[in-house]
Amino acid sequence: MTIDSTFWVAISFLLFIGLLIYFKIPQKINEILNQLILNIKNEIDESEKLRNEAKVLLDNSQSKLDGAREETKSIIEQAKRDSDNLVIEINEKFHKSAEIKKKLAETKISQMKEAAIKEIKDTSIKIAVESVKKIISTSVDKNKLDAIFEKNLEEAKTELKKINT
């Protein structure tokens, strides 16, 4: 049998495999690979744990957001009710103020009417006194007296009409 280069390659290959086994290289590689697998598994577990925590935080944030939306909605509704009540209150105050002003105007009109009536009475009394003075000073007969009375009565009526209008 001739020893050629293929034989020596086979021998060196077997020696290489033997040395690997002798130095426990496959076991070390296996341990390294198992350690890497374990590390990857731990990282996956950690990432799963972080994902769950993130989901819990997201749920909490979502519930807080929903609560904030509800609170905002209730604040807006309360503000609308308050503004409606304020509008009603201001409207009522305006109507009360208008009613008070109307009553004041009616009172002033009533006072002016009473003053006008008093002025008419005063004017009528003056006219009557003047008529009596004229009658007494002239001492005329009854026909002239009646004519003067009628004339003064007409003057009083026209004065009253002027004051009423």
The full set of domain ranges for the chain reads 5-164
| Closest CA relative to residue 128, chosen from 159, 100, 89 | 159
How far apart are alpha carbons 67 and 61 in whole angstroms?
Answer: 10
User: In the block, which residue shows the tokens 């009409």?
Assistant: 161
| Cα-based distances in Å from 62 to 54, 65, 72 | 12, 5, 15
- Are the C-beta atoms of residues 120 and 165 closer than 8 Å to each other? no
* pLDDT at residue 158 greater than cutoff 90: no
* pLDDT at residue 22 greater than cutoff 90: no
What is the pTM assigned to this prediction?
A: 0.42
How far apart are alpha carbons 93 and 163 in whole angstroms?
Answer: 38
